[in-house]
């Protein structure tokens, strides 16, 4: 009977590891937006309308099985509205809040040093942009490359570089007719702390 119990335990341990590990984390990101709307008439108005460049905070839950992982991430920031051109940008930080939810597939693409990992992440993200009394939604494509390293015990640190692209955050009629709506790009760098359950 003891031999059967020991055999079951020894058989279940590798199986449990095969089903993967759960990880939870917190993240802080700095972001930069491009695109959204541009003046095509060379008129007297500001040539660019776009979201501002907020700092965001987020949480993520990740399930890792071998080299692959599935990620659910939510973040919050206040991008406001940026207008201007070149080096002169006026940013209204009081207008606009952003909630983002993303589902990503992550896969290990390599390592740095004895225990660091490089991972790529791809997937869709939903942006909910509250501007004034309006709530607008945009679906974007998100891609990222992350480096993760052990910190202590079950904790690991991560730095990510990511990019997203979506339709313009503005809608027809939001701006004067000389403004052309363009795709909205976002670039960001994220620092995170993760805990393996």
Lowest mean pLDDT among 28-37, 40-49, 180-189: 40-49
Q: What is the spatial distance between Cα 124 and Cα 140, in angstroms, rounded to a whole number?
A: 6
CA distance 147 to 134: 37
Q: Is residue 10 part of a domain?
A: no
Identify whether 14 is part of a domain: no
Distance CA 60, CA 77 (A): 15
Q: Hey, is 8 helix, strand or coil?
A: helix
pLDDT tens sequence across 150-189: 999 999 999 999 999 999 988 888 888 888 899 999 999 9
CA quadruple 146, 150, 156, 159: dihedral sign: negative
Residue 95 lies in a domain: yes
Task: Say if 43 falls within a structural domain.
Answer: yes
pLDDT at 10: 43
Q: How far is CA 59 from the centre of its chain?
A: 10
Mapping DSSP to helix (H, G, I), strand (E, B) and coil, where does residue 194 land?
strand
pLDDT band at 43 (very low <50, low <70, confident <90, very high): low
Reduced 3-state DSSP string for 80-124 = CEEEEECCEEEEECCCCEEEEEEEEEEEEEEEECCCEEEEEEEEE
Whether 97 maps to a domain, the answer reads yes
Q: What's the DSSP call for residue 14? A: H
Q: The CATH number of the domain where 130 resides is what? A: 2.40.160.20
65 forms beta bridges with 68
Mean pLDDT computed over 6-12: 41
Answer whether residue 44 shows pLDDT above 70: no
Owning domain of residue 40: 20-196
Q: Kindly state the percentage of the chain with pLDDT values over 70.
A: 88
For 10, the enclosing helix (H) or strand (E) is helix 2-18
| Predicted local distance difference test score (pLDDT) of residue 143 | 97
Beta strands 68-77 and 116-131, pairing class: unpaired
Domain membership of residue 26 (yes or no) is: yes
Average of per-residue pLDDT across 27-38: 92
User: Is there a domain that residue 7 lies in?
Assistant: no
- Residues 65-115: tens digit of each pLDDT: 999 999 999 999 998 888 887 677 777 777 788 999 999 999 999 988 778
Higher pLDDT, residue 10 or 191: 191
State how many domains the chain has.
1
% of the chain exceeding 90 in pLDDT: 54
Using CA atoms of 77, 80, 83, 86 in order, give the dihedral in degrees to the nearest 10. Answer: -20
Q: For the CA atoms of the chain, what is the radius of gyration? A: 22
Tokens of 92: 């209204």
In a domain, 3, yes or no: no
pLDDT at 8: 39
Record the tokens describing residue 142, joined without a space: 């998100």
């Amino acid at each position: 009977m003891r031999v059967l119990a020991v055999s079951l335990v020894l058989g279940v341990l590798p199986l449990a590891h095969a089903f993967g590990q759960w990880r939870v984390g917190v993240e802080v990101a700095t972001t930069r937006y491009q695109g959204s709307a541009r003046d095509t008439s060379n008129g007297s108005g500001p040539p660019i309308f776009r979201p501002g460049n907020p700092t965001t905070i987020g949480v993520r839950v990740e399930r890792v099985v071998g080299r692959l992982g599935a990620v659910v991430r939510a973040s919050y920031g206040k991008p406001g509205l940026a207008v201007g051109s070149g080096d002169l940008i006026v940013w209204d930080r009081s207008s606009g809040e952003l909630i983002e939810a993303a589902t990503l597939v992550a896969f290990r693409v390599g390592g740095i040093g004895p225990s660091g990992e490089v991972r790529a992440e791809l997937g869709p993200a939903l942006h909910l942009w509250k501007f004034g009394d309006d709530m607008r939604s945009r679906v974007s494509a998100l891609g990222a490359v992350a480096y993760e390293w052990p910190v202590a015990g079950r904790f690991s640190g991560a730095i990510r570089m990511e990019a997203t692209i979506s339709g313009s955050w503005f809608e027809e009629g939001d701006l004067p007719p000389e403004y052309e709506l363009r795709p909205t790009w976002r670039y960001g760098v994220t620092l995170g702390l993760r805990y393996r359950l």
